[in-house]
Structure 1
Amino acid sequence: MGFVVTATLAGNAVGTKGMEPWEDDNGESRKAAIVLDAAGFPDVAGETVLIQAKGSTAPADFRAVAEDVRKAVLATGAVENVRTPYDAEEPAPISQDRRSALVTFDMKGEGKTAKERVQPVIDAVAGVQRGHPGLRIGQAGEASSGLLIGDVLGDDLVRAELLSIPLTFGILLAAFGALLAAVVPLVVAFTAYLGSIGLLALTSQFLHVDSATTNLMLLIGLAVGVDYSLFYIRREREERARGRGRERALEIAAATSGRAVLISGITVIVAMAGMFLTGNGIFMGFAQGTILVVLVAMVGSMTVLPAILSLIGDKIDARVVHGTVRKLTGRTWRRVLGGREGGGRVWNAILTAVLRRPIVSVLLAGGLLVGLSVPAFDLRTGEPGTADVQGSYPVMDTFRAIEEAFPGNKAPAAVVLKADDVTAPHVRKEVERFRELALGTGEIDPAFFGVSVNPDKTVAVLNLGLKGKGPSDETSEHAVRTLRERVVPPTVGLVAETYVYGSVAGVMDFNAQLGSTVPLVFTFVLLLAFVLLLASFRSLVAAVTAIVLNLLSVAAAYGVLVMVFQYGWGENLLNFESTGSIVSWLPLFLFVILFGLSMDYHVFILSRIREAFDRGMPTEQAVTHGIRTTAGVVSSAAFIMVGVFAIFGTMSLLSFKEMGIGLAAAILIDATIVRAVLLPATMKLLGEANWYLPRWLGWLPVLEHGAGDDDDEGPDEPDALPSERIPVTVG
């Protein structure tokens, strides 16, 4: 507790350092963003008002309405640089069919805080709309969308956080039927989160983080903190039920579940560390935050938790669920999940059937996972753009209407020039040649061409609109390649340092960065996880099996994502509209997170199986014992994770919805099909080969998975023969 308080105070003192504007970009876009960040351009937020005719016939002109909009927004005192389509100099665009016109302006003051001042302007535009009911008049822009997304995302996150903790507490209470047993895991998880947030503030001074990092840390911290506490508490209570003294029960829990927590935590940290290899600022920040919260949760579960259990003693089992409620919840729950020592009726029935017909079980479960994985081969990534905010909101509806009326606005682009003097005659000459050549390609919308110069005239930005549907659209991407390869080099590229920038270019550079680093991330995570499992369980087969099963669950989760969000199955149920693609950052993110979290269950179950085998049980009996004794805690932990992640599947942002459903589906698949069916069936078929270790790997350290004395598993288990205690080795 002292550590948490100290870390929190230290973190609050220094504050978390957010990312610089250029740190979430990649490749050429990153270089352009660095130049723009240092150029000294005014930090302004641009806003646009759409004036659009309703029906099929347009009015003669929008001149009077545009003037009303100008007067209304200027009257707020919050805007400047108002432009209409009827200005003599630099007029705002009007559509080719003359049915839509734009009025543009800038918010006064710093752009990053403009959303705090934009509401009066939105109200003023709404007043103009009321005065012209025959037209559509709406506002959209950086400040207004920032206000909307901040409100929507803020409300969603608050709701998710408020629901996730009671949900977790309810599941724990139903599983244990005891108040303290339900509260302690939450305390450990939440204090781990608070402590890691304090540490993040300190480490972010060196590696900046995105604002979403703390939200991710809450998810992961709640998941692993509760998991580790459940592993530990369940084993300690199990030993107490067998008649162990308080201290001896804690010693056995430390020697068994404590070691499993250590192995699992290190494996999760290794998986999260893979995100450092992407070179992307957001992923690197995610890696930093998740590693810190897992590390603090792991250390807390191995130090603070035993101390709490020692202080509480048997009071942790004090029942608070009585009478009818207990009969309807606790007993039903235990029939499904199992009590302290049993696997529950459902688990026992499944396990009995699986071990009786292991080949059939592998074929059915494996076939189901492969079937779910097949759509993953059709996975397409993209950027949702304005579709990321699901639902009907005036600002987003206006954005979409502008994109429809002015196609070039869907894919804005910029060419950044850096020179000693970008206003020099020879540079201006090449800028004009650039404009002529760009428009001549037929891939540029002439309505959005403009030039901006910074105060010291060393940087210029050539703004233009690309034809196409925006990020991830082939037409828009081809236009970017045309600019970079055919238009820029023979014109402005001759007289200035140049970079093509914008939303389309940014997505292309991001995908290129991931394309070059994803194989490295996958190799790093899989290889180190394999080495850790090999060293921990001294079995080549067990390590390979764990990797294969985890990859199957991840592939199945990808398939579910494609079917739901790419094919649109379940749109009405989940209240979203498919964009035909998966947000580009999600596949790699899901792989790393899911691989790490799946290892929690696998390491815990395998530790219990190996413990029983090392104490003399035949493999089949050890598998049965391991699955049954871990069924309750694995199911409880899985229900908690699925519930918490599913809450994020109800959020308004499509990217968060995809993340929540993807995580929930993967954990559900992993904790049921993989751990309850494939794992025991595979281990039954492999038999003694599960513990195969080549002689040339005999130098690996021996880690005892038992508690250290012969009667720790109870009198009902057979004594081991010497040959049964030695891992199978083949030279």
Structure 2
Amino acid sequence: MTGQPKRGGPAKLIVACWLALTVLAGIFAPQLAPKLSGGGWRVPAADATLAAEALSTGFTGRGEASVLLLVRDRQYAVGSPEFGQRVASAVAVVRAEPELRSLREFGWTTLTGPASAKFTGRDGHTVATILDLDVDEGTAKRVVPTAQESLSRLAASGVEATLVGQAAAYGAVNTMSSEGLVRAEVAIFPILAVMLLLIYRSVVAALVSLLVGGSAVLFATGTLAVLADTVDLSVFVSNVATMLSLGVGVDYAMIMIKRFAEEIGEHADRRIALRNTLRTAGHVVAVSGATITAAIATLLVVDVGVVRSMAVGGMLAVAFATLTSVVLLPALLFLLGPRIDALRVPLPAALSRGPGLWYRLAHGIRARPIAVLTAGCALLAVLAVPGLHLQVFNADAEMLPADSRTRTGYLLAQEQFGPGTVEPITVVIESEAPIADPGEVAWINDLAARLRALENVDSVSAPADIPHAGLHPDDLAQIVGHYVSADRRTVLVDVYAETSSASESTQRLVHEIRSTADAAERPGFAILVGGDAADGITSTAEISRSTSTVLVLMLALILVLLVAAFRSIFVPIKAVLLNLFSVGATIGILVLVFQEGWGAELLGITAIGPIQNFVPLLLFTILFSLSTDYEVFLITRIREYAADPATAADSIAHGLARTGPLISAAAAIMVLVFGAFVLTPLVAVQQLGFGMAVAVAIDATVVRMFLVPAGLELMGRWNWWLPFRSRPTS
């Protein structure tokens, strides 16, 4: 057989190692989900973080992982013996979890008489008890969903028992993230397989492409599972890693396989075919992978754990997709040779379109480049306008689906005890010495009174509000211990807002509380403001502060890499400018759908409001780098034709004709993979998946098929100009 290699030893060894590593990764990958953290929102050394640390020890009913147990009994009312027994049964269910047996209670179950009134709901059938779980936050978010599931079994007897709070919310997010990931994968793979069959018209090529994408997912998630033992990784990292490794892996495999099939048709010797494939498509994949990985790495400058962990996940995903495509896939291609096109699938004539359509499109653009460029940029600018009204914040329990037990409990707490009950704004007053002086106590009481007078405050709980008369000594000790630390150096004041923690009104209230605290400064004392709303404000501010640094670093890296890849100045600058239009349009559409609600019902999206604070920056970084994928692919092919005297004059049309069908197919796969994550129940993942799908669709159609050719046509021979050359090359 012509071109049959004498030996395939190295290729077989690479494939054998690949399979062994895939099996190993497959062992570790399923261990990732239980290790992920729902936290990562706090900024180190920020006041809100220091306030949370101050609450972790020394107080009654407060700790690193505390939740609120809500019990509503539809049959019996508060005060009846049966009601008390059923509440005790609910607590016993939580204690039945082996890791929660040492939990400490504070609230309706531990207080008596008038002291328990604060923990009794408005309907007389609902009570609340704070459970200090006495475990770390990571253990809590892993165990609480199991306890919540056990509590749900009490519903058959007429008792609604729910756990709410950060540990419960993040535990629910973790569980739903894992379930949503499975749901997205189940939806993706059958459709993806059909799409690949239509694109390749070969069962073998489709299977190889799926194998590359699937192994990239396993490598990324398996490595993250190992890292999660020593590094705190956000629950969102598995979604980001799966999206990118599968989408990018399948796309890169398509670029390589299509080029190899083209080369093997021209050269019977598979060695030559593979060498040419690596020199062209392999170079494109390597440059694109390096660019995307470097761009995502810029997110590491953001000092917010959830963003950094997603950056690590994204970098690993793209790195493994690239390595799999340029190291492992070539070995498979070498062994398969012409058989990469085996097991052909008949394609309906309506779906079979040659490069003629793209060639004619290029010539149409070539005749009117200014009109095409103006119209395309104007369209993207109009789509970007809603992005000017972008609102971001860290979502509260309302980020969970409406049927989530945790969200149901959150809404019940708001209904029975007030909107800010679950997430109070905590004012932490720290003293250098134990607080005993009457003047110091009066100063603390005065501060509490000032806080109570602020707008949007529902109530304030402070040591001064404890009614000493008529309280049992044990109740009094518990309540004092809830607000004053054991060493008497820290005093807490809880401020309950009239609105939820994610609302603009509560955010304004946090700023007013901080201003009030600053105005009340006293020597020897420090005042910190904490709570979920304060955490959200701090993390959002850190992300906003870091955005300009990230963008400058990312654009500089992309420009340097593209200049090196294209050996041109103007082509990379044009790419960056057009990508800005593309990403701007994506943010605008994201705001219209998720913030304003346009078409949300059609897409099954129920959470309408501010965009999750990390989503715009993450989208901007990932999408900007992903856009260079198609840019590198298209420009590299155009440059090949520009270097050949026979095709130089019509290089843009030839390049678009060759790459247009493949870019469209690759984009369709990306849109499918990213868009499937809209099926997940978490709004942040929905926003991320939807935004990435929209951006790829815009980039592969408006930008890559129209604006890039029009821009190249206008610049002419200056496309390939580089300083220190005597003149632009043609």
Cα offset for 1:313?
A: 0.9
Structure 2 CA distance for partners of 1:171 and 1:10, relative to 1, 3 Å:
closer
Cα offset for 1:398?
A: 3.9
Who is 2:147 aligned against?
Answer: 117
Cα offset for 1:371?
A: 1.4
Structure 2 CA distance for partners of 1:254 and 1:598, relative to 1, 3 Å:
same
Cα offset for 1:20?
A: 7.7
Structure 2 CA distance for partners of 1:104 and 1:349, relative to 1, 3 Å:
farther
Who is 1:70 aligned against?
Answer: 87
Who is 1:2 aligned against?
Answer: 17
The 5-angstrom pairing of residues 87-236 of structure 1 reads 87-88=112-113, 90-93=115-118, 102-106=127-131, 110=135, 111-112=140-141, 113-124=143-154, 127-129=157-159, 139-142=162-165, 145=169, 148-201=172-225, 207-236=231-260
Cα offset for 1:327?
A: 3.7
Who is 1:264 aligned against?
Answer: 288
Q: Which moved more, 1:526-535 or 1:157-166?
A: 157-166
Structure 2 CA distance for partners of 1:348 and 1:46, relative to 1, 3 Å:
same
Please say if 1:437 is aligned against 2:450: yes
> Among residues 594, 615, 632, which one is paired with 2:623 in the alignment?
594
Deviation string 1:133-167 (CA, Å, 9 cap, x unpaired) is xxxx6635147656654554332211112222333
Cα offset for 1:551?
A: 1.2
The 5-angstrom pairing of residues 450-489 of structure 1 reads 452=482, 457=487, 460=490, 462=492, 464-487=494-517
The answer as to whether partners of 1:189 and 1:226 remain within 8 angstroms in 2 is yes
Who is 2:469 aligned against?
Answer: none
Measure the CA separation in 2 of the matches of 1:619 and 1:35: 69
Measure the CA separation in 1 of the matches of 2:320 and 2:171: 35
> Among residues 387, 403, 407, which one is paired with 2:414 in the alignment?
403
Structure 2 CA distance for partners of 1:13 and 1:390, relative to 1, 3 Å:
closer
The answer as to whether partners of 2:106 and 2:130 remain within 8 angstroms in 1 is yes
Structure 2 CA distance for partners of 1:616 and 1:678, relative to 1, 3 Å:
same
Q: Specify the code of the residue in structure 1 equivalent to 2:676.
A: I
Q: Specify the code of the residue in structure 2 equivalent to 1:356.
A: A
The gaps in structure 2 that reach 5 residues or longer are 1-15, 96-102, 463-478
Structure 2 CA distance for partners of 1:378 and 1:630, relative to 1, 3 Å:
same
Please say if 1:615 is aligned against 2:634: no
The 5-angstrom pairing of residues 382-421 of structure 1 reads 382-404=393-415, 406-409=418-421, 411-418=423-430
- Identity among equivalent pairs (%): 26
Please say if 1:49 is aligned against 2:70: yes
Cα offset for 1:412?
A: 1.7
Measure the CA separation in 2 of the matches of 1:293 and 1:458: 50
The answer as to whether partners of 2:264 and 2:273 remain within 8 angstroms in 1 is yes
Say which SS state the counterpart of residue 420 (structure 2) adopts: helix
Q: Specify the code of the residue in structure 1 equivalent to 2:578.
A: L
Say which SS state the counterpart of residue 158 (structure 2) adopts: helix
Cα offset for 1:515?
A: 2.0
Q: Specify the code of the residue in structure 1 equivalent to 2:487.
A: K
Say which SS state the counterpart of residue 128 (structure 2) adopts: strand
Measure the CA separation in 1 of the matches of 2:64 and 2:50: 19
Who is 2:331 aligned against?
Answer: 307
> Among residues 593, 598, 604, which one is paired with 1:564 in the alignment?
593
Structure 2 CA distance for partners of 1:646 and 1:381, relative to 1, 3 Å:
same
Who is 1:511 aligned against?
Answer: 540
Please say if 1:381 is aligned against 2:400: no
Structure 2 CA distance for partners of 1:207 and 1:315, relative to 1, 3 Å:
same
Say which SS state the counterpart of residue 469 (structure 1) adopts: coil
Q: CA RMSD in A?
A: 3.6
Cα offset for 1:306?
A: 1.3
Who is 1:25 aligned against?
Answer: 42
Measure the CA separation in 1 of the matches of 2:42 and 2:443: 27
Cα offset for 1:617?
A: 5.5
Cα offset for 1:514?
A: 1.6
Structure 2 CA distance for partners of 1:280 and 1:152, relative to 1, 3 Å:
closer
Q: Which moved more, 1:284-293 or 1:587-596?
A: 284-293
Who is 2:368 aligned against?
Answer: 357
Cα offset for 1:630?
A: 1.2
The answer as to whether partners of 1:391 and 1:652 remain within 8 angstroms in 2 is no
Measure the CA separation in 2 of the matches of 1:495 and 1:260: 62
Alignment coverage as a number of residue pairs: 675
Who is 1:702 aligned against?
Answer: none
Measure the CA separation in 2 of the matches of 1:524 and 1:580: 30
Q: Specify the code of the residue in structure 2 equivalent to 1:413.
A: I
Measure the CA separation in 1 of the matches of 2:39 and 2:173: 21
Structure 2 CA distance for partners of 1:103 and 1:473, relative to 1, 3 Å:
closer
Deviation string 1:231-260 (CA, Å, 9 cap, x unpaired) is 111111112222452111111111111111
The answer as to whether partners of 1:108 and 1:114 remain within 8 angstroms in 2 is no
Q: Specify the code of the residue in structure 2 equivalent to 1:403.
A: Q
Please say if 1:316 is aligned against 2:334: no
Say which SS state the counterpart of residue 407 (structure 1) adopts: coil
The answer as to whether partners of 1:421 and 1:457 remain within 8 angstroms in 2 is no
Structure 2 CA distance for partners of 1:23 and 1:139, relative to 1, 3 Å:
closer
Say which SS state the counterpart of residue 464 (structure 1) adopts: strand
The answer as to whether partners of 1:466 and 1:476 remain within 8 angstroms in 2 is no
Q: Specify the code of the residue in structure 2 equivalent to 1:70.
A: V
Deviation string 1:55-80 (CA, Å, 9 cap, x unpaired) is xxxx9x85449646535535647386
The answer as to whether partners of 1:68 and 1:128 remain within 8 angstroms in 2 is no
Q: Specify the code of the residue in structure 1 equivalent to 2:67.
A: G
Q: Specify the code of the residue in structure 1 equivalent to 2:128.
A: V
Measure the CA separation in 2 of the matches of 1:458 and 1:333: 77
Measure the CA separation in 2 of the matches of 1:609 and 1:397: 57
Q: Which moved more, 1:30-39 or 1:495-504?
A: 30-39
Structure 2 CA distance for partners of 1:690 and 1:209, relative to 1, 3 Å:
same
Structure 2 CA distance for partners of 1:681 and 1:417, relative to 1, 3 Å:
same
Measure the CA separation in 2 of the matches of 1:468 and 1:263: 53
Say which SS state the counterpart of residue 576 (structure 1) adopts: coil
Measure the CA separation in 2 of the matches of 1:233 and 1:608: 16
Say which SS state the counterpart of residue 482 (structure 2) adopts: strand
Measure the CA separation in 1 of the matches of 2:683 and 2:455: 33
Deviation string 1:22-67 (CA, Å, 9 cap, x unpaired) is 743113223334455577965554234365999xxxx9x8544964
Please say if 1:663 is aligned against 2:682: no
The answer as to whether partners of 1:365 and 1:678 remain within 8 angstroms in 2 is yes
Measure the CA separation in 2 of the matches of 1:71 and 1:690: 76
Structure 2 CA distance for partners of 1:35 and 1:358, relative to 1, 3 Å:
same
Q: Which moved more, 1:401-410 or 1:448-457?
A: 448-457
Q: What is the TM-score normalised by the length of structure 2?
A: 0.83
Q: Specify the code of the residue in structure 2 equivalent to 1:727.
A: T
Who is 1:637 aligned against?
Answer: 666
Who is 1:367 aligned against?
Answer: 378
Structure 2 CA distance for partners of 1:507 and 1:644, relative to 1, 3 Å:
same
Q: What is the TM-score normalised by the length of structure 1?
A: 0.83
Cα offset for 1:613?
A: 0.9
Q: Which moved more, 1:181-190 or 1:544-553?
A: 181-190
The answer as to whether partners of 1:358 and 1:681 remain within 8 angstroms in 2 is yes
Cα offset for 1:616?
A: 2.7
Structure 2 CA distance for partners of 1:567 and 1:95, relative to 1, 3 Å:
farther
The gaps in structure 1 that reach 5 residues or longer are 130-136, 699-722
Structure 2 CA distance for partners of 1:167 and 1:30, relative to 1, 3 Å:
farther
Deviation string 1:638-674 (CA, Å, 9 cap, x unpaired) is 1111011111112222222111111111111111111
Measure the CA separation in 2 of the matches of 1:105 and 1:46: 6
Measure the CA separation in 2 of the matches of 1:464 and 1:327: 67
